[in-house]
A and B are shown apart, each in its own frame.
Chain A
Amino acid sequence: MVFIALAATTALMLTACVRSGGGTDAATLSDEPVTLTFTWWGNDLRTAATNEVIAAFEKENPNITIEGQFSDWVGYWDKLATATAANDTPDIMQMDEKYIATYGERGALLDLNGTGDAIDLSDFPESALATGEIDGGRYGIPTALNSQAIVVNPDLFEQAGVALPDDRDWTWEDFTTLGAQLSAGGGGDSFGVQTWGFEDGSLRTWARQAGDALYTDGEVSIETETVKDWFEYMLAMVDDGVMPPASTVVEKLSAGQAESMTATNRAGMATWWNSQLTALADSSGAPLRIMRVPTPDGGADGSAYYKTSMFWSVSSRTEHPAEAALFLDFLANSETAGDIMLTERGVPANEKIREHIKPKLSPNDVSVVEFLDDLADGIGEVEPVTPAGASAMEGLLSPFTEQVLFGQATPAQAAEGFVAALKSAVAAG
């Protein structure tokens, strides 16, 4: 069975390799009907909105049919890898920061510079556009921006009789102190902090605060010491009951966002991307709020960063680069598309669209945008892109985090193991 799976893809692949990597000339639109495939990952809210955008585009361009497909985060990348190996890459795809170098550097993505001026990029800040560029090639149009945030549940604070913190000067110490109080108030039913130790964004922020960096110039550069501290912080939270027991943490990992402890009102605080607030609040029904990530000694230290929440990318093997570019332009610049998607994918990177949608936003959406605007004083240097080969960073991390959680490894051992595993993944990539 393994062989069939492996080799069915590889046999097709051998023929596919030959065609990869071509930068196409600015192609012209076809007179014939054209069908494009388009994939994204995400929740039901996103899927409904995306289908609406597709319908609006098809109405303006009756010649073009967009076939949309979506899956959850994990399934998405497995599917995209197998489809790409089998020369069946979707024409247009939602792309993530962790994967753009892996796909882009290896010739699977179309260099959008080759589509001429089909896509108008004049309303995008240069800093955002740069996140989709690798070695001079433009492999993705930034959809929206995000930043790490703490999602707080005021109901649980009230229940525990704890005042909400001031996120302008809170420290990691405050975070655990509050967490312990929340857990005590939750009586075993709800906890102070949802989880720790499994996310790329959280480790990057921790590293930046320690004057370290996960990656530098396409290499793994983080110190083992930094990862060790990060694990130790987690272990203290488990021991003090700030976090739920290890097996609950693990069980929640494979559950979807809507079943997370934040969405089910069982965690007082949790790290998320700021734009996830809307969907989380929707599921929980509680007046959730977003706050800045604590720092070691309180106050902004430039450790925050804007993450391009996702990109729009086009397959290098698409037969219809012109139509794909037309659709990308619609996604990136159309007010209609902006009105439908609002901030579901993050705060639009297109500044004109960001202004345009502001009056239409729900209170939660407004706080998502304001959070990002407001964060400007805390934003430091641009965070380096994930190098090719490190896309599955979180998959490499989780066994080590779990070993620490279940007492099978010390934070020092796990940190060493993780850094070695990540380095070897980048070397193999």
Chain B
Amino acid sequence: MAGLASDYDMSALGELRTLGQKKIAGGSKEKKENKAAYLFLLPWFLGLSVITGGPMLASLYLSLTKYNLLQPPEFIGLGNFARMLTDERLHNSLGVTFTYVFVSVPIQLAMGLALAVLLNRGLRGLSFYRSVFYLPSLLGSSVAIAVLWKQVFGTNGLMNDFLGLFGIAGHGWISDPATALSTLITLNVWTFGAPMIIFLAGLRQVPAMYLEAAKVDGASRWQTFVKITLPLLSPIIFFNLVLQIIHAFQSFTQAFIISGGNGGPADSTLFYTLYLYNRGFANFDMGYASAMAWFLLVIIGVFTAINFWASKYWVFYDD
């Protein structure tokens, strides 16, 4: 899972670079730069085809089989996919995952953007704050933080100690199905640093002359932000949105550690990936788990496609 985070960071930088290039590059120069970009992408592409591509093909085949890990797979066609239709725990896990993605990502992005705007106003010690806010993104999906979270939100944890100062009665946040998922959502929101950094870079590229012109015309700060900054920043918002949605759909470590591996209590934190893992490695139902993995790919694909389609209506490219 740690490798995943760095993949994103690298592709994020690549994307930023191309966004930046779009402005300066024109005509034949573009082709030359594309070549260079492909060259830089080559190591990543090799990794993709060898380390990810092969296993993906294998899992595509396995999704059509009954496979218990210990014996050779047995071909059953679309049987696993048919079973998924009637699997109530699977449907529940989809509900949990959708809630997680569509609650935590907007809040996370809003926080990232708000702080980026704040930091962009020429704060002293900017690099210090930037690092401090970015730190959680580096740690957020790690086992250590999940363990820490478990302590903080436990019955005898820091959260309850803090609430106790105000005379509010404590509560086992993680062990109550009504609040367990919220603690995981909070954890994801807390990692707002990665989109924040990208927003910050985007804000730097908003031409000062537009802002000055608006000021001269008597626009308020809010009007300037909504009418000038946001449209110019929309490609960056879009990029962050796509990235964070994909990322959130694949969340695993946090729920695995915090729920002790079973997505409890009462399946309230049973992320799709966690259920997939349990089917594969605890129930030895690896054919089904592979089918689930492919279905997840389709879900993520669909949401990314919707995102791209919708982007036509709100993303503004200043070419």
Q: Tell me the A residues contacting B by CB distance below 8 Å.
A: 1-11, 13-14, 17, 20, 74, 77-78, 81-82, 84-85, 102-103, 106-108, 246-251, 253-254, 389, 391-392, 395-396, 398-399, 402-403, 405-406, 408, 421, 425, 428-429
Contact = CB atoms under 8 A, between A and B. Distances in A.
B227 interface: no
Contacts of B154: 251
A425 B288 CA distance: 12
B55 A108 contact: no
Contact of B264 (A1, A84, A402, A428): A402
Nearest to B258: A254
A408 B266 contact: yes
A85 B282 CA distance: 12
Nearest to B61: A10
B55 A3 contact: yes
B71 A107 contact: yes
Contacts of A248: 155, 172, 175
Contacts of A5: 277
Contacts of A106: 68, 70-71
B284 A389 contact: yes
B285 A251 contact: no
A250 B70 contact: no
Interface string B146-166: 000000001100000000000
A396 B265 CA distance: 12
Contacts of B172: 247-248, 250-251
B72 interface: yes
Interface in B247-288: 250, 252, 259-267, 270, 273, 276-278, 280-286, 288
B55 A4 contact: yes
A7 B54 contact: yes
B296 interface: yes
A260 B229 CA distance: 55
A315 to B, nearest CB: 11
* Interface range, B side: 35 or more
Contacts of B276: 2
A237 to B, nearest CB: 17
9 tightest A-B CB contacts, nearest first? A7-B55, A254-B260, A247-B172, A106-B70, A402-B266, A250-B175, A251-B175, A247-B175, A392-B282
A101 to B, nearest CB: 11
Given A395-B262, A406-B266, A84 B70 contact: yes
A398 B264 contact: yes
Contacts of A6: 55, 59, 62, 280, 286, 289-290, 293
A395 B262 CA distance: 7
A108 to B, nearest CB: 5
Interface in B70-107: 70-72, 89
Contacts of A107: 70-71
B56 A3 contact: yes
B70 A103 contact: yes
Given A4-B55, A106-B71, A406-B176, A399 B284 contact: no
